[in-house]
Amino acid sequence: MNWLGYLAQREISENDSVLDLGCGIMQATLDHIPSYPKTRLQCAKITGVDIHKPYLEWLNINYPEIETLHWDLSKIPIPFQDKSYDIILLIDILEHLDSLEIVRNIISESNRIARKKIIVLTPKKFDPNLAATKNVWGLGPNEYQKHRLNIKIEDLENLGFKVFTPIIQKQSSRHNYAVKKLEGPI
């Protein structure tokens, strides 16, 4: 689990069910990157959703206990029941979408699906991320890795999120970290 995963873990209990939308290979929450400590997100269940099949195939081979769903998040509704997961993760995904309208739709769907919280991490500054489209995890080219949007703090606040300044590592200063609590005060 990398520093993004540690930020998310502060909001997640070991009894929570987690839906990771735009999960990729779950590099933030699983223990498969050699340069990070061998830890993983502590939760009761985690499900990953992504549009890029090679990422899901990789997860299915390496982590067969994790449920996955191949889905284009711009297609609404996302096929999960209302209030079916405690936590929704949107880690480094919103910047890959084509428009703020799609971002709003995904947040609206996350509000529908989540029982407790929605956690967002997104870069503060725009970088097209073109190098990552070539072969980011050794799983072939992926145009979906391209950054298309710069999500600003005001955008997140307008969507009901509280934006925090994380103090876990230096890298975190380059990201917006936001949480929307769906029950009780934040």
Q: b or e along 39-72 (b: 16 or more beta carbons within 10 Å of the residue's beta carbon)?
A: ebbebeebbbbbbbeebbebbeeebeebebeebe
Rounded CA separation 86/132 (Å): 31
Q: Per-residue pLDDT tens for 100-114?
A: 999 999 999 999 999
Q: What is the CATH number of the domain that holds 173?
A: 3.40.50.150
Q: In the chain, how many domains are there?
A: 1
13-34 mean pLDDT = 88
pLDDT band at 164 (very low <50, low <70, confident <90, very high): confident
Q: Per the omega criterion (within 30 degrees of 0), is the bond before 141 cis? A: no
Cβ contact 72:45 at 8 Å? no
Give the model's pLDDT for residue 7: 83
Residue 186 resides in a domain: no
- Is 170's pLDDT higher than 60? no
1-30 mean pLDDT = 88
Round the average pLDDT of the chain to a whole number and report it.
Answer: 89
Residue 127 resides in a domain: yes
The full DSSP string for 8-53 is: HHTT--TT-EEEEET-TT-TTTSS--TTS-S-----SEEEEEES-H
Give the model's pLDDT for residue 168: 53
Residue 24 resides in a domain: yes
User: 79 is written with which tokens?
Assistant: 């096929």
User: 43 is written with which tokens?
Assistant: 């939760």
Rounded CA separation 62/67 (Å): 12
Give the domain range for residue 54.
Answer: 3-181
Residue 97 resides in a domain: yes
Give the model's pLDDT for residue 186: 47
